[in-house]
Structure formats: C-alpha cells, structure tokens
Amino acid sequence: MNANEKNTLKTLIKRFQNGDKDVLADIMLLVYKDLYFLAYDYLRDKMLAQDAVSETFVRLLEKVHAIKNDQSLNGYLRTLVINIALDMLRKRKKEVFIEDAEPNLTADGINDEQINVRFALSRLKKDERETLLLWHYGYTLRETSRMTGKTVNQVRLLLEKAKENFSAEYHKNGIAETL
C-alpha cells in the first residue's frame, strides 16, 4: 500500500469510526486485494480465500470501535484474515483423506508439511504468531512495533521467542527444519 492509499485509508477509517457506514465499501476496495492474497497464500483455494476476506470484514464491522488508527487496522485485518484462514485449515485438516491420491496429500491437495507448518503456527500465542507472520511477510521490527503497539525491543524479543516456539512445534510434528 503506497503513502497515498494509507492516507486515504486513515481518512476512511476515521469516517467509519464516526458512524459513516457508507465508506466500508471504499475501505474494502483499498485492502481487499492484499487480504485476498494473504488468505490465498494460506488456503490455496480462491473461494476459501474470498470467504476468509468476507469474514474479516464482517468481524471488522463488529469491532470497528476497537481500532485506534490506520496502522492498527492494517495489522488487525492482516492478523484477522490469517487467523480465519488458519481456522479454515484446521477444519479442512479434519476432513477425510483421499484413498487413491498420493499418500501425503489431503483431499484439498495440502501436503503434510504445509499442515504441520500451519499447525505449528496455530500452537503459538496470538502475539507470537502475529509477530512471526508480520516478519515473514517482510515487515520491519519498527513497522511491526507500530502495528502491534509494542516497543521495537519487545517485538525483537517476541520474534525470537516466536521463532523458538515455532521451531519446537515444527519438530514435534516430525519435520526437522529450523528458521
């Protein structure tokens, strides 16, 4: 998102928080594409990614007054769509495996390694998962600090703890790779 879009988003959020529900469509237009690709990165299914983004906006409507500014909204929406996608994956993981397919693929084409990565992420504390995912998607410590409301040092320490905990959960599931 460029600086102009961020300023526009900030203005729209203020209007939305002040009761102007008509700007929701404009907010959606600004952030939909980013949220969709983030959800798709987890789900690898276009329809499910669209559902995850739709659910994100439904939850936004419920919690709009808890959002303090445009940076926390961006972080909130990204974290929310990731959590919704992970919830969807947990539900899909419980589905029946195809008997005749490759032994390591589920009915949805997700292999064991992907499931283990997602499961390891789901086992992290919320703030650890959020910090690790923001780091994974290229956010700097300073940007993550602004989005989460933590100091840069707190984010750095949290990221190190998240990496350690993720690695431990990852190993529990039989995959011997580390970050």
Domain-wise residue ranges, the chain: 1-110, 113-179
pLDDT by position in tens, the chain (length 179): 677 877 887 788 788 778 787 888 888 888 899 899 889 888 888 999 999 999 998 888 887 766 665 556 777 888 899 889 888 877 775 443 333 334 444 445 556 677 777 778 888 888 898 888 888 877 788 888 887 788 999 999 999 999 999 888 888 765 444 44
Q: Which CATH architecture has domain 1-110?
A: Orthogonal Bundle (1.10)
Other beta carbons less than 10 A from residue 95's beta carbon: 10
Q: Which CATH architecture has domain 113-179?
A: Orthogonal Bundle (1.10)
Structure tokens at 24: 């929701």
Measured between alpha carbons, how far is 45 from 50 in angstroms, rounded to an integer? 9
**Angle, nearest 10°, between helix axes 70-93 and 24-43?**
40
